Structures are given as structure tokens and as C-alpha cells.
Structure 1
């Protein structure tokens, strides 16, 4: 079959070449002009509209009937194709169209004629971010045809069309809500999980969303290894639940902290967007041990040290005893599953399974170093290392283990080219206001930012003149000497401002001459800027009195508790700073606009007296208020007013606002129940594609006083990987009382062609409650989504057919290499990676231990594989062909196929006859 196809293709190639050669010959002798392109060979059939109304984000069906414009024009049957192409700014991509003629849909049976219509149809995807307007486009038609009037071949035509977009979708806009964390774990030296929902408040899908967290000077650090976390696609109006693990450093200060979430995403045309959202977290001090036992916590200062392969590294660890008794038998170990071992290329560089540490008394701290060896097998990138600290309390024989994690970055192992890069930074000048003819001294850091040590570094002024700067020594240079890679040296150079230098900013150019680590001479140029050059003394005018600036600023805000209840007290702490140019006298600050619906005073003292603040001076302030009994849940603004007298005795005043977050109000009419998924499970450990299973999940009402009623629970999965097997995918629950739970079970099925992966399942809750707010009542109740994740496992289907020893032609002979043919098919729905074959039994591969096939995408095949095999003996031989492959997670799988019994001939024996050297006369 394969041979006949090859023969047909070769004949077709020869025929095409002959036709093309004939066309060139005819053209060269001037018989005719060939392959003429003309737009009006084809026109629409009848008076039909070529304006199509489109909606952003939806498919637009285009259908046009066409014909040849003249009886003299014709096209060859089967030669016609059409593509809908966008004009300038049109919001879609080129799309292949289909052809039909009445009931005929086979392209190879269709030609465009002048006497009956040919229908051209296409479904084009309009971009979600399409703007209102009318856009030009065309149906580009290609064919092989003939113009009998001019005796010319014709090849193409075009039908102009217009795409009309009359509405727009709101742009994607990401927001963050439902921020939650365990306050008991958000403590100095601890770690906690921060969860939140990322919602797309727009209508356009946000594609390829990534998130990262900026920790700044909060004293917190990531407890995960991937800096940019993939969120995926978020459709308009949809949200995704995210959780990140955060480590609180032992050096962190307790208080109210601001974390910045950064999101990057794209729209359907590839435009990239970036947005930041703030999340507020309160860090508490580490609680004292509540028992008389020893209590160790461990933390590592190694957050992201850089290491190279084939090197030794000491990981620093601090162990603190927060208990009331001595900790004994303290041992530090590195678990194999925690990033240490042959597979990771990072090894413990000490003997034994652990390091012994001296006893740690109550309240004491021990600092130790853990020797590691980074082998050449270590891959580059960020690595997470787990550390276990095992100990016993002084009067106990029960071992307790504390665990922490450290992070190091293994640098690229490739030898990089020498990079020469000397930089000048942190420039300061003296005096601040130099005049022409005066000396100015510039002090700055010279940093070796290259790949190796440099030596004999000299800095010299360039282009010195009376209109710029002039040297004050013989050559205007200074010797710096050697600088190690990554190191800096502070340097000072003095020049004279040129007598004709212009007022304002002047540019001083420097030549940087040095030798690189190979001894080669290098030269770079750098520029520094001398600021505030004044007029010459003769031109100078008296300096005016400085303008008085009044500015009071509030920063470093924190609150306690983190979730204040309406009617209870909340304490705010902040720093107040005089950022003005002179003293602020008799400074007072206090709450304004206080009421039961916002915040209330806790004493009759209206204002807090702070005295005087010099310019630049700061003072810490602590104030307590009561959350109003009618305060809404969520966050509220506490407005503060302040007054003071400036240096001229004038009264100054201002207002500011502090956001108090996490307010709860069980008595508020707006308070409503909150349903969460507290746990979930399946009755099957492996959710294989095509299999059925039961999904159980527990719904908990977290509200203290209100019940959720008339509850409808639904389940959905965006890609359809998991679906219910019953007629309905919803469950009705009459009521879940405050603090109570309800466990539901749904029969589910994994999609037949599911690829291995972790998939999100949305659990939709709709419910009512007593005294519903007007907003919820008008919406028909509360609608909430909870997200869980299940892991599907693909059902791979590698198939081998037509195994044939000798390919039907050669005779298998004992101990002699012969081809074994077989066809390989991937009949599953996922790519099979790194496919190779091995042979066992009575056959062996001739030249290697494996026959490599490669990666085979779903639905494709590799036929006519012909590895060479050797039969082990004469007679009937059989064996096994084993197919090896990697699934989508990189795990190797194998499938065996029987090699059919094959008769093998013995090696020919000619009985010692000698056929050489005879005389055949």
C-alpha cells in the first residue's frame, strides 16, 4: 500500500513539472501571458449583502454565494480554495473557508462557473477585545482556471467584505477578595498559608495569568520555590482560588503588614497587562510555650544564596528554645525527600545520618552550619531543602521534631564568556552649589560588575575644557587599582568647574582603563553629572528666603486585633512625621466624624497631645477606638484630624484616613452565613480516564448565629474532565445551622480522553438566610463558589500491528541479522513522549539495546519501523516486543506485544565442498 502511494506521488510530481515547463516555454515564445491575477474574475451571485455583524468573543458565520463574472471564465474542478483574510485592524485571524455546491461538499468535485452558484462559508473567531467600528476584509479565492477570450490562465480573485462591530466588551480587570489565613500561625518565626480569590471583573478573558508576591520590608518571605505562579486563564466574571505558603522571618517585627500581589496577563491578541493589588496581614509575636516542656523552633537565614556546582556550601540554621525546660539529644538531619540526595545532586557533606547539637537551655539560641556538597549533577535553578530538628525535653524520652525549609539557587553550569562591566554609582558632590572657577569634589562607588577580577584600574577625565570641567592635577586622573568580581571601591575625584561652564547641570566624562582577568587591556567610558552649577559670582543674585512648607505624614500603620468585632475596641498604631521644612508646635491629633456606624471614642479625651515635632522628626502614636455597633462588615475608614502651629505662629490643620480591615458584625443586618468546603475526598485513589467514582465533600456554615437555608449545591468543571453520571448535577439541602456541617456525595465520571493533570472543580452554592439584605434578596439569594482540585490520569493506548520478521521477503536464519517490521499507533488522546522499543525472548536487537521511535502525538502513527533483529536458534522462534514511553507527567510506562512464532532456518552447511580454484576447462 505504501509503495503504491509513493509511485502515485512520483507520477504526480513528474506531471506537474511537465505542465510548468510547458507554461514557461509558451511564455518565452510569446504565445500568451500565463497566470494572470485579476480581482474581478469572480463576483457574488445576485444582490446580496457583504456586510456582516459581529459580536466580540463570538464566532461569526460568513456565507457568500459566488460565480464567475463571464461565460469565458472557468476554473478546473478541485482546484478552488478560499481564505477569509482580515484587512487593516480587522479583529480576527485568517480563516480557511469551505466550499459547497448544492448538496456537493467534496472540494475535489467543485468548480466555480458563471451559470450556477458556489457557496463559500467560514466561521471566524472575533477577538474578545474588538472595538466598535467597520473593518475591511476579503474572501481570497485561489484556483487554476482559463480565460478563453484572451487565451490566458487565471489563478485568483477576491470578494471584498465588511465586518461590522457594534458593541465592545469591558476589558479584563483582576481583583482580589476573600483573603484568609490562620492568625494563630501568622507569628514571628512561623509559617502560614494565605488564600484568596482572584476574580476577573471585566468581560474579556484574562489569558495566561501569572501572579507573584512582593514582600518588601515586611519581614516575610516565600515558603515556595516558584517566584511566578501560573494561575491560568480567567473568564470574564469568573474567579480562581489561590493559596501561597509564607514564611515569617525570626527578625520580623510584629504588626500590620502590606503585601503586594502582582498579576500579569494577556488578551486574545497577545497584548500584555500588569496590575498590582495589596493584601493586608497582621503578624503577631511568637507566643510563649504554654507547657513546662522544651519547645524548639528552627529557621534558616539561607533564603536564596547562590551556589555553583562542584562546590561546598554551609547552610546556616538557627534553633531557639521557646519552652521552659532544657532541650536534650538535639539532632539535625536532612530528609531524603526534602531536596537532598543523588537525584537532586545536592548531598550532605558530613558523616552519619545527623549532626549532634549541644543541649539548648530554656530561652537560649543555637546557631549551626550544615555542610553541603553541590555536585556537577545538580541542575540550575531555585532549590528547596527541608531540615529536621529532633529533640527531647529534659525529663522526657519522647522525641519531638521541628521542621523548616531553606532555599538556595544553583547557578548555570555552562562556562560563560568573560564580561567586562565597570559601573559608577552613588555619586555625591561637594559643594552642592558650585560656581565657575571653583573646585568640586565628586565621591562615588566604582563597582566591578563583570565576570572576573580586574586590575590596574585608572579613571581619567575626558573632553576637559573651560566650557565643561578643568583638571586640578597634571593629567586629571586617579589610580584605583584592583577590584574583585562583584566588589566596589569608593573613589573621590576633584575638578574645577570651567570658567565658561553653563548654569544648571554639567556632564563630566571619564575614561575607565584596566586589565581584565586574562590580562587584556580594556577601556570603557562613563558619565557623571554635576548638579546645580550656579552663575559666576559677578552674575549671582541674592538667594531668596526659603519657602515654608507644611507637611504632616502618617505611615507604618497597624491594627489590633486583626478582626475586630462591632462594639469592641480596636487599637491603631502609626508613625507621624513632620515632612515640612520647619518645626510643628503644639501638634494634636484625634478622631473625626465618629458615630455608631463608623468608630466611637473610648474616653472623653477628644485629641491626643503630641507636643512639638522638628522638621524630619517622627513619633510613634497609639490610639484606641470602639468599632461602632452599626459598622458594616469588611473594612471601615477611621478619619483622623490634626492641628499645629507653624514657625510663623499660623494655625495649620489637616485630615487623613486609616483603613481598619477585617471588621465582623454578627448583629448587623448585612451579616450573612458563609459556606465553605472544609474537606473533600474520592472513593477511588486513581481517577483514570473513563472511570467512575464518588466525590464526597463537606460543607460547613462558619457563621456564629445565622443558618443557611434552601441551599442548592452544584458541581462543574470548565473543561468537562469530570462530570456527574446522574441526571442532575445539583443537590438540595434544606438548612445548615450555624457552625454545623453537611456531607454530600455525587457519582462522577472522568472524561474518556482526559490527559493527566490537576483540574479545578467548582462547587457552586446558592442559599438564603433570615433577614436577607436587599441586595441579596433582589439577587435571589447568595451565590458563592468554592474550588477544589482533583487529579485525572490519562488512559494511554499505544498499539502495535503488523509485526513481521523478514518483512515477507527475506528468510530468517539462525544468528543472522534480519529486518523486523511493525507499525506503531497512538490511539489515545495524549502525546506519548520518547517512545522506544526493546526485544526479548528468542530474538535480540542487532546493533543496540533499544530502537528509538520518538514522540508520537495523539491519533498519529509511525509505520514501517524496521529494526534489525537476530534469531537465537534455528526452529520456531517467538518473543516479545516491548514499547516504552513517557506519559504527560514524565513517568515511563511499558506495554508488551507478542512477536508471532517464526520459522528460522539453520546456517547453510555445504558438507566441506570446495567451490574455489577448480578448472572448469
Structure 2
């Protein structure tokens, strides 16, 4: 063993000696010293800069294009820069430019007036790692003349304006924002000057007329480190625009504060910015619908029941409490008085996405009412989101037929279904007025005439008087009249009078009704010779399919674009779509509510001729996380037109409202149905129903089909999202065999349509078993006993037998004891 250890030590000593010898063989050449071979195998083919003008103090990027030799394959190439007038920014030399690629960008700064730059490439030889190969290239940069005289680069610019930096918001379009909503403004800032601007602060200054709120003043400030010549940066501002802000165009400002290059003092400038505010959805918007009164025609001196629904469907937030009352209106002259002393009704909550609340009042009609309609003023008092108390008044009109003496012998004719122009009518454009004459009285109407007349500036183009010889009770007569504004017509709403008269006022009282038509004057349209009027493109019609879109699904939009101008053609129409952002705190759920399907968000129309409409069909996708409400699909319409041989451009913004609802969903717990049961024997099921969707399930109902049930149909009310409700019942069947039924869940979906879902349940129902040993004889049904009763009888029998046995044992014991005692007595006597 000792010899073996000696051998090992000797071997280690030998290895050490050999190592020393190897080191000694490299004497005179350290490991860091390598042979350097200068070559020209790497040459710069081309170079360019990201700045058009370079001068002392200018920072820029220099991109060089070079050839990479095969000898440097897989080798790192190092780059070095040497110049008296340029330095490399943010990088240490030499720069490792990697093993691949044939171009490289160097961040540079000019510090002098000599444009010469020496660029050296170096790498180790592929065949010999000890050999470093270098290539030197020289390039020349053209420098701008920044000297006031010919002496070097230390002078100043002869034109001081060259150092001015100009910051502007380019391509400024007037943004349209909605009162009562969160606003996100986005602009593009450009450095339109010659020099870099640093430490830029851009502040948005709303006018004092705009009522806005912001969580932080930083939401109105953008800070930008620097902007070079022609560079741009995005500006974003956010705030909440209160619903009380009136709809109009406001003049705001952008305030710039920045340091030009080499400047010690900041520069401050402002730029005007215009913002258009449109009327938004109010916090609370109370309306009266489903107005009805009984009887439908009020009689003087009698009771009338007035009912209506108060809803807040056009508002944007809940209103906690609404006090509904009938106002004591002096102008009403006590036509109606309150019965039972109840003059008000309290509504605890009104939600925009829920049905309204029905309110009923009992009124007494004055005995002095004559034939006609009479007003009832409804006062709605509530507090808005800012806790300010407000009162809204609505007028309802009740029709009275007057007293019997007054109506005797009178004929009643009504004008209904009036159709008139809803838009603008030009001075030379004809239009129609049509309506129905209906005999709503109890007698035939005879010998009356209908006339329709405009004012002096709107004249009839057809016969404007019609004589009607007779009109049976309930019969209808449809009439149409044509009118046209004169060239002298002024811009206003002109009244068209509809008048019905009979032979005598006593038998046929005169009835009048007015229709308004808005006419645009000739002089406001501008003379075509001057050719100064601007064509406008409008969305004259659009349809959605389906009308209400489910989140996460596609819908079709059919849009019709119309050129409203009479003589000018619009060309090169570019229409861009942009949807509002989904307001979700989860970043994964954010993004545009709508996106185009199988197309881009921009489409083109070559031209639209005067008064022409052109349709476009689009398919849009709604993101799954879109909130259930009305979202806007925004359109930017850019087009060109010619004015006095000059081509002008215009951009118009418009929106299409799209109602989006979240799909409804619910789940139930697992429950078991017995595989077998007996006829008439009940079994229980217990359901736990949870709303897992994002909308309320209104009027939720559970119904049993195919089985007898203790609770066959149950109304569970409105199931809010995230909530759980329960349903219990006992089921049974009076039929044998395999019985199949259903549990039917039904509710009103978010789109107002009924929805239902079925869940199948089935079991095998068997006949009740009969015990043949229970004493039932053939043909003797009186001895039949059900199993439960037989079981009870057997139990009783066992108890009786046990009791008899116990008594027997006791008797036996007593008898035995007496015999023993008697025997003892006999023995004693002996």
C-alpha cells in the first residue's frame, strides 16, 4: 500500500514538471499579445444619417452599410470610431456589432467643424485566433455652415431664427365630446422648427365655460423629454365633462413650455384649440309612458282613474327617490280634483335598465266640463347625482265628451295619422301633407268640407278643399295635399292649417289643427354663380341587424351616405370607423368595443353626386366584455370638392348608436332523481339556481312538465347577476313505466325577449307490490292489506304474543310456588 501511494505522488510531481515546461515554451509572448494584420476586407459601401442638416451640437444617428467577409463567419466584429469633430453617444468603444448583419447604426454628436470620421473594424482570424484582422474606412459628413465667418466651428449662427423651436399640434381636427361622460383627448405634437426642444411641458387649458372634473391635475399635463426636428409625440388628456355643460363649440388652449437647444431660459407659447360639446345622456331623464284613464272619455261630474308609468330609461344613473304628485294648477281652473285625499306617490328607485313604476290617481271631473281636452299637471320631484333637488313637470290631457245636452245632435270627426315632412324643405321643393278623417261620433257625418292652407310663403300645388258628402260611423277617409314654398319664403317653421267645417256651427262645430314644416330660404343656400356653398355628407339612413347586438357576436350595419348639395359633387370620400373604448379597469378587457370583420376600419367611395345617396354594408364584431348600454360607432368622413376651380377638403364626424347587451346565463346544482319509484309515491328535488351571466334575469320562472308536483309553477322574481335563488318541490306519477318530464326555466332576456331552457328528468314508476301471505284470498278483496299496514299488524301481533307469554310464565311460577308451599305444609303435619 505504501508503495502504491509513493507511485501516485511521483506521478503528480511529473505532471507539475510537464506544466512548467509547457509554460516555458511560450516565453517572450504574453497571452494578451496577438499578431495584428491590417487589411481592407471590410469596406463601407454606403452610409446615411437620420438628420438632413448636421452642425455643431447636433445629435444624430449614423447608419453604415458594410460587407461582412467569409473569413469573419461566426466571429464578433468590433467597431471603433475616431474623429476630431464627432463623438459616440451612450456607447463605450470599441463596439461589439455581433456575428451577423451588414449594417449598424451609431448614435453620434457633432462637436466641431471637420466632417471626417475614421471607422475601424477588427476581428480574430477564423484560422488563427492569435491573429487580429483590422480594416480602416474613412467617411465624410457634410456639415451645415454654422459660422458667421470662415474661422472654424466655434462661431454662432448668422440667423438667430434658426435656433427657434416651434411646437405645434398638427392636423388639428375639432374633437366632439359628450356632456356627462369621461373624455379622452388625443393630439399629435410636432417640432416644426430647426432645433431640438428639451424638457417639454404641454398643458391643456379648458375654458372656464366648460364644467369639468379631474382626479389629478396631471391628467391635463404631458411631459416629453425632447423632440428633434420634425419628430412627433402623442398628447393625451383625460377628464370628466359634467352633464350641465351646454352644447356648443368652445375655445380652449394648449400651453407649451420647453428649452431650445443650448438655451438657459424656457420658452412659453400657447395655441388655440377648439372643442365641440354635444348634449349627452343626462343623469336622470324622467318620462311618462303608458298613459291611460278610465273611462276613456271623461264625463262631467264623474270619477276618472288616471294611470301612467314613470321611467328613467333615457337617463344614465339611478334615481333613489321620486315624489310624484298632481300639481294644483291655477290655469286648470279645477277641472279635476283629488279623491281620497291622496295627492302624491313615492317611488323608491328608478334604474335606467329597468321598467318604470306604475302610478295611479283617482280624480273627480268637474260637472262644468264641456266637450274638449283638459290638462292635468304631474310634478316629479327628485335629487340628481350631485344631490341637487329638482322638479320636472309633465302635462297630460284628458278628453271630455261634455254633458248629454251639449252633445245631443252633434257629429264628431277626428283627424289622425298626419304625415308631414320631418326634415328641411328647400324653397323650390314640393312636399305632401296627408292625414285620415275618422268619424268617431255616434251619428253619420254629412255635407262637410276639409280645407288645408299654408301661409303666404307656402302655397298649394293641388286642390286644397275637399267636400265629403257623408262619412259613416267608424269610417275613414284618407286625404293628401301638395304644397311648395315660394322663392320669397323665409327660413322658419311655416304652419299648415287643417280645418273641418259643416253647414252650421250648431250641428257641426268647426275643428282646426296645425302642422309645422321647416323651410330653408333661397338666399341662405347661396347663389350657385358665386359657387361658395359647401357640400355636406350626412348619414341619411342606417339599419342594424340585429337591432340589439349581443356582446361577443357580429352584427351588420347598412349605412346610406347622402350628398345634400344641389349642384356639387363630392369625390375621394374616405370613411374611417372608430369605436369608443371599453371602460373596464381590467386591461385585458379594454380596447375598442367594435371592430370590423374581414375588412379594414377605412373604406373609400369614389364620388357622390348632388342629392345622391350611396349605401355601404359592414359587418362589425362586438368584444365579449362590452357593457350593456348604448355604444357609439364613430365615423370620420373625409372628402374633396371643387370651389371656383380650387379643390378643397372637408372632414365631418358622425356617430351611429348601437345597443349592446350581455348574454344571459345561469347554472343549477346537481340533483338526483330516484331510478325507481312506486305509483303515487312522491320524491323531492331541491334546486339551487345561480345567475352566472352579466345581466339580470327578469321574471324568472320554474315549471314542471310530465310529473305531478306540489309546486308545479313557481315565479322566483328578478335574479340579479351573481345572485342565487332556490326552488323545492315534491314530484310523483300516477302512471306506470318509464316517465319522462322536464324542468322548464324561463325568463326575460336583456333584449326584452322571452327565453327558456329545458332540463330532462326521468324515472321508472312501478306498481305497488302485494303481499300474498297477508291473508288475501282469491276473490276476497276485503282481506287485502297494504304492506305498510301489514307491517304494522305484524308488529302488534308480536307485542300481544310477547305479553301473553309473560303472563303465562308468571302464572306458571305462581302455581309452582303454591304447590311447593303446600307440599311443605303436608310434610310439616306428618
Task: With the length of structure 1 as denominator, give the TM-score of the two structures.
Answer: 0.32
- For the pair shown, the structure with the greater C-alpha radius of gyration is 2
Higher strand share: 1
